[in-house]
Structure 1
Amino acid sequence: MKTDRLLSITIYLINRKKATARELADYFETTLLPEFFDPSVHPPYKDTFQQDTRSTTLFVLKFAPSARGRITDYYNPLNLHFMPDGFIMGFFSFPEDEWVYGWILSFGPLVEVLEPAHARQRIKSLVNSMGNVYNKGSS
């Protein structure tokens, strides 16, 4: 049985007062920790991150149809436009740093930077530099 399904059943049984946590611990041959979670001690999740104040750049990217699963799993559909030919246009605002270029490069030939022009040129330069490393003739 999958862990998430098992957790759902456990929570259901406890909420319906059909089993206690102790009974379930005994059944699953595990032990209960003496601690308990007190949410008032922990800050809300959103307060644990420092607000990013860097300026962002709008990237317009064209993804191959085979990148659809990866793109739709991670990004808001409002940022995506599905073309009749199967390609996906993505509109993303990111701080322009090494992370964004690494992210774009991680798609390999499945993405093309359309805008901004300087980002397209930067990707082209990075790809050429990478090609030069492998074209030196060493095996």
Structure 2
Amino acid sequence: MQMNRLFEIVYLLMQRKTMTAAELAERFEVSKRTIYRDIDALSGAGIPVYASKGKGGGIGLLPDFVLNTSLLSEAEQNEILFGLQSLEATNAMQTGQVLAKLSNLFRKEEVGWIDVDFSEWHSGEAGRDKFGLLKTAILECRVITFTYYSSNGRKSRRQAEPMKLQFKNRAWYLQSFCLKSRELRTFKINRIEDLQYTGEFFERRKMAVPALEESSQKERIQKVDLELAFSPSMAFRIFDEFDRANVHLHEDGSYRVFVSYPEDGWVYGHLLSFGEDLKVISPPHIRSILEEKAKKIAEIYGRPFLI
């Protein structure tokens, strides 16, 4: 508590130049004797604080004092401010106030070096609200309930103790203790709907949250190794979506890509999204599946359109 009060005293004195011991004592609900002990502690720590008597006197700091000259190097200041900006980008609690105070203390202008938007293009405010609710649930240890759609389209209602948000391979995931399965589970956030608090609080479990690829999931899906040929016009997507080490450029400007994906409905739709600019070289069964799906699509568009 004393350390917080000392920090706040320094902040107030930098803002107001001078304050009386009585004003500080009233502000912190302590005695004037305690305030004088705090001033001695600050002075002993190298903070140039002084007390003057008479009309207009009080407790103040030397005019040229900057906090970092006593406690933190230039690099350490920047690390603190940049770290807080990272947290502020995630809408962490009260980070903005702390960032503003420290920027003032360090006499630095804020450098807006990071901006994070947790929502997807199509989700807008709804996506941001979902992340805000999950953040609060994790920080305040609140049980949540939600509807979840698995990769094979199964719909279920879940109740969980949220533990961590993770971003991997262009997607956000929630790692939590599922009260239905009684185990750690990972949920893809864009498959979560009707997210709500239950009103129940939980005590954080003393267990390590595994890395995303190691987390326990019932829905294990076999991966398939793909060899893909792309036309030159797909360069912008190729370098957005694939590891450069797996991309090979041919003399005619086309690309050959080698990648492993979980084989499910998502991968078929993803490959079809490249349209006529992609040809699956292997494995043959994926070629056959895409050919069949392409025929069905053509049939749909070949029928009369009814409103």
TM-score normalised per structure 2:
0.32
Find the aligned partners of 2:271 and 2:79 in 1 and give their Cα distance. Answer: 48
| AA aligned opposite 2:101 | R
From 98, 109, 114, the equivalent of 2:276 is 109
Distance 1:106 1:51, change over 3 A: farther
Residue 54 of structure 1 deviates from its aligned partner by 3.2
Structure-2 change in CA distance of 1:15 and 1:111 (3 Å): same
Structure 1 stretches of at least 4 aligned residues deviating more than 4 Å after TM superposition: 42-46
Cα deviation digits, residues 42-90 of structure 1 (max 9, x gap): 7695836336753311111111111111111221111111111111111
Determine whether 1:47 maps to 2:110.
Answer: no
**CA–CA distance in 2 between the matches of 1:83 and 1:24?**
52
Q: How far apart, CA to CA, are the structure 2 residues paired with 1:61 and 1:43?
A: 35
Summarize the alignment of residues 19-98 of structure 1 with structure 2, pairs less than 5 Å apart: 21-22=100-101, 24=103, 45=166, 47=210, 49=212, 50=215, 53-98=220-265
- Higher RCO, 1 or 2 (CA under 8 Å, sep at least 6)? 1
> Which of 70, 74, 78 pairs up with 1:15?
78
Unaligned runs of 5+ in 1: 1-11, 29-37
Look up the match of 1:5. Answer: none
Specify whether residues 51 and 136 from structure 1 end up closer, same or farther in structure 2 by C-alpha distance, changes over 3 A only. Answer: same
Q: How much does 1:93 deviate?
A: 0.9
Q: Letter of the 1:68 partner, please give it.
A: A
RMSD after superposition: 3.3
Distance 2:254 2:165 in 1: 39
Separation (CA, whole Å) in 1 of partners of 2:227 and 2:79: 50
Paired amino acid for 2:254: F
Which runs of no fewer than 5 residues in structure 2 stay unpaired?
1-74, 81-98, 111-138, 140-162, 167-208
The structure with more helix, counted as a fraction of residues:
1
Distance 1:51 1:75, change over 3 A: farther
Whether the 8 Å CA contact 2:247–2:256 is kept in 1: the answer is yes
Q: What is the percent sequence identity of the aligned residues?
A: 28
> Residue 112 of structure 1: SS of its match in structure 2?
strand
More displaced, 121-130 or 42-51? Answer: 42-51
Equivalenced residue count is 114
Asked which structure has the greater CA Rg, the reply is 2
Q: Distance in 2 between matches of 1:16 and 1:102?
A: 43
AA partner of residue 284 (structure 2): A
